[in-house]
Structure 1
Amino acid sequence: MATGETGFDDVTFDLVSVQYHSLKAGHDYGQYVRDARNAGRDDIADFFQRVMDEDSARAKQCHEFLKELAGSADSGPAVS
C-alpha cells in the first residue's frame, strides 16, 4: 500500500476524510432540521434527519474500518 507524505496510506487518509466530512455535514444538518421544523415543513425536516442519520452511520463505519487498520501492517507508520 502506498504511503503519502503524511505517513498515512491512501485508504486511511480516505477513510479519515469521509469520516470528517460526514461528521461535519451531520452538524450542519441539525440546523437544517431545525429550519425546516420552524418553517412548518416536517416532511423536509424528516428528510434532513434521514440524511443526517445516513452520514452518522457512514462516520461510524469509517471509525470501525480505521480501528481495523490501526492494528494492521497496512496502516502505515503514522497509525501503527
Structure 2
Amino acid sequence: MATGETGFDDVTYDLVSLQYHSLKAGHDYGQYVRDAENAGRKDIAAFFRKVMAEDSNRAKQCREYIRDHAETSASGPAVS
C-alpha cells in the first residue's frame, strides 16, 4: 500500500480529500441558494439544494468508508 508525502495510504488520503471538498462545496452552495432565492429563481434554488444534499450524502459516505478502511487496513500514518 503506497503512502504519499502525507504518510497516509492513498485510499485514506483520497477519501479524506473527497470528504473535505464535498463539505466545502456544500458550504458554498448555501450562498448559491440564497443568490437564486434573492433573484426569485426558486427552481434554481431547488437545484442548488439538491446538489448540496448530494454532496452532504457523499461526505457521509466518505466518513463511513474512512472508518471501515481504518478498521480493515494499516491506513494510519507511516511508521518508517
Q: Which residue of 1 aligns with 2:38?
A: 38
Distance in 2 between residues matched to 1:38 and 1:60, nearest whole Å: 30
Distance in 2 between residues matched to 1:25 and 1:66, nearest whole Å: 19
Q: Which residue of 2 aligns with 1:69?
A: 69
Displaced runs of 4+ in structure 1, greater than 2 A? none
TM-score (normalizing by structure 1): 0.90
Shift of 1:23: 0.2
TM-score (normalizing by structure 2): 0.90
Percent identity at matched positions?
Answer: 76
Distance in 1 between residues matched to 2:74 and 2:40, nearest whole Å: 50
Distance in 2 between residues matched to 1:20 and 1:76, nearest whole Å: 18
Q: Which residue of 1 aligns with 2:57?
A: 57
Distance in 2 between residues matched to 1:44 and 1:72, nearest whole Å: 42
Distance in 2 between residues matched to 1:76 and 1:27, nearest whole Å: 28
Structure 1: gaps spanning 5 or more residues: none
Distance in 2 between residues matched to 1:51 and 1:32, nearest whole Å: 11
SS of residue paired to 2:3: coil
Q: Across the two proteins, how many residue pairs are aligned to each other?
A: 78
SS of residue paired to 1:16: helix
Q: Which residue of 2 aligns with 1:47?
A: 47
Structure 2: gaps spanning 5 or more residues: none
Distance in 2 between residues matched to 1:36 and 1:7, nearest whole Å: 42
